[in-house]
């Protein structure tokens, strides 16, 4: 529920209760007042009549606009409501009647004075209508004003919220929040701006550190590699030292590869491959397959290439190359002697299926995309291939899924191109 709706709900509830109670009280109050007025007039007339009768011994004419009835029969004394026939309009109208005893010419007479209530009803209605109207308008006005005000006052908050939703740390931006006169929002914005500044600074530091670390580790690696190579050239290097240095050399190579892979991953995450160009994927795929031909022959793989479309993707050439390389290398490395390697390219997806070792029950397909996750722990590969694939596909809004069919074991990696794809 929106904050506005939540507060309005309580306001409305209170206003409705007050409005109802107020209206009822008003109704009875006005009615009581007007009726008292009528009764007072009746009592005045009675006193006047009594006084006149005492003084003159007879009833005065009809000095009252109201009605007066005389009756010799005893009547219940006091005030009562009654309906009397209005001769002009020939219909019954409400009257207030006061009945009392009067000694007239030695006889006891019962006098009933009546006063029409119709006027008081009209006055009552008018007052009620006016007041209810004013109250209603006031209520409506308050609700509308509240709604408008809230909307206006909360605008800076909504803008802040909107900014936060769109905030991406990788843009290296500090939040640009609107200036507001409301102190609480100003404080909120101030705090958020500070927070984003701190986060942006931390992120920049971290990124700089990663870059520097990447850069600085390259030189020692180069030194190690160069020195080992020099060591191998020594003419009097004892024979047993050869394999030792060879192993060291291979280890340095692995480290260099690992370094390369991690640097690539962090570069993709830092969005350092913004430039794109239209790439004919089918062409690139054929080229890659050509380069890998020997390695497929080495394993005697049955290559099955099905290219049914020539999609052109907007990508950075280095990333497109890395994507295809990693997918194909993965499919060749984990293949068996004489195994199947099927490559299917359509306008919307690339599917690479390879034969390989059967998965055990504990192996979760999602894990293969994790860094350093290897099917064979002793493998020399750094285990970054599929992480890189996932990172690249994620960067371009593609999706990559892993599928496995157990009999015979078939591993399938399916890359679905996103909106960046456009058919030639």
Nearest-approach distance from CB 224 to another protein, in angstroms? 7
Shorter beta-carbon distance to another protein: residue 192 or 256: 256
Nearest-approach distance from CB 412 to another protein, in angstroms? 18
Nearest-approach distance from CB 360 to another protein, in angstroms? 20
Nearest-approach distance from CB 319 to another protein, in angstroms? 10
Shorter beta-carbon distance to another protein: residue 23 or 225: 225
Nearest-approach distance from CB 418 to another protein, in angstroms? 23
Shorter beta-carbon distance to another protein: residue 67 or 329: 329
Shorter beta-carbon distance to another protein: residue 295 or 402: 295
Shorter beta-carbon distance to another protein: residue 155 or 217: 217
Nearest-approach distance from CB 390 to another protein, in angstroms? 18
Three-class SS of the chain: CCHHHHHHHHHHHHHHHHHHHHHHHHHHHHHHHHHHHHHHHHHHHHHHHHHHHHHHCCCCCCCCCCEEEEECCCCCCEEEEEEEEECCCCEEEEEEEEEEEEEECCEEEEEEEEEECHHHHHHHHHHHHHHHHHHHHHHHHHHHHHHHHHHHHHHHHHHHHHHHHCCCHHHCCCCCCCCCCCHHHHHHHHHHHHHHHHHHHHHHHHHHHHHHHHHHHHHHHHHHHHHHHHHHHCCCCCCCHHHHHHHHHHHHHHHHHHHHHHHHHHHHHCCCCCCCEEEEHHHHHHHHHHHCHHHHHHCCCEEEEEECCCEEEEECHHHHHHHHHHHHHHHHHCCCCCCEEEEEECCCEEEEEEECCCCCCCCCHHHHHCCCCCCCCCCCCCCCHHHHHHHHHHHCCCEEEEEEECCCCEEEEEEECCCCEEEC
Nearest-approach distance from CB 309 to another protein, in angstroms? 25
Q: Which tokens sit at 369?
A: 């995309």
Interface positions with another protein (CB under 8 A)? 215-216, 218-219, 221-227, 229-230, 232-233, 239, 242-247, 249-250, 252-253, 256-257, 263, 291-292, 294-295, 298, 318, 325, 328-329, 332-333, 379-381
Shorter beta-carbon distance to another protein: residue 81 or 216: 216
Shorter beta-carbon distance to another protein: residue 5 or 318: 318
Nearest-approach distance from CB 252 to another protein, in angstroms? 7
Shorter beta-carbon distance to another protein: residue 179 or 274: 274
| Dist. CA 280–CA 406, nearest whole Å | 34
């Amino acid at each position: 529920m929106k904050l506005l709706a939540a507060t309005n709900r309580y306001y409305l509830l209170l206003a409705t209760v007050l409005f109802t109670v107020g209206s009822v009280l008003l109704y009875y109050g006005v009615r009581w007042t007007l009726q008292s007025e009528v009764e007072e007039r009746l009592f005045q007339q009675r006193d006047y009549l009594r006084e006149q009768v005492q003084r003159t011994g007879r009833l005065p004419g009809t000095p009252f606009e109201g009605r007066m009835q005389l009756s010799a029969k005893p009547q219940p004394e006091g005030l009562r409501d009654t309906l009397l026939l209005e001769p002009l309009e020939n219909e019954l109208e409400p009257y207030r009647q006061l009945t009392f005893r009067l000694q007239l010419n030695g006889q006891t007479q019962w006098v009933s004075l009546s006063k029409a209530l119709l006027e008081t009803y009209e006055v009552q209605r008018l007052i009620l209508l006016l007041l209810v109207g004013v109250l209603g308008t006031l209520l409506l006005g308050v609700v509308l004003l509240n709604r408008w005000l809230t909307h206006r006052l909360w605008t800076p908050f909504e803008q802040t919220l909107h900014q936060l939703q769109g905030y991406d740390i990788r843009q290296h931006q500090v939040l640009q929040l609107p200036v507001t006169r409301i102190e609480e929002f100003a404080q909120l914005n101030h705090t958020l701006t500070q927070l984003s500044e701190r986060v942006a600074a931390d992120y920049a530091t971290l990124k700089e550190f990663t870059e520097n670390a990447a850069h600085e580790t390259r030189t020692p690696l180069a030194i190690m590699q160069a020195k080992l190579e020099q060591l191998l050239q020594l003419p009097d290097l004892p024979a047993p030292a050869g394999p030792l240095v060879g192993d060291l050399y291979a280890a340095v190579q692995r480290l260099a590869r690992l370094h390369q892979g991690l640097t690539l991953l962090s570069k993709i995450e830092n969005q350092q491959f913004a430039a794109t160009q239209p790439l004919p994927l089918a062409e690139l795929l054929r080229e890659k397959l050509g380069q890998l031909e020997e390695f497929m022959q080495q394993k005697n793989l049955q290559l099955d290439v099905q290219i049914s479309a020539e999609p052109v993707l907007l990508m950075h050439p280095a990333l497109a190359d890395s994507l295809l390389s990693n997918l194909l290398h993965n499919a060749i490395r984990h293949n068996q002697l004489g195994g199947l390697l099927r490559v299917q390219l359509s306008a919307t997806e690339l599917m690479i299926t390879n034969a390989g070792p059967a998965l055990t029950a504990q192996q979760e397909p999602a894990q293969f995309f994790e860094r350093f996750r290897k099917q064979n722990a002793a493998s020399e590969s750094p285990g970054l291939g599929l992480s890189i694939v996932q990172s690249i596909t994620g960067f371009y809004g593609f999706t990559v899924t892993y599928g496995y069919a157990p009999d015979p074991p078939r591993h399938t990696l399916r890359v679905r191109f996103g909106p960046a794809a456009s058919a030639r």
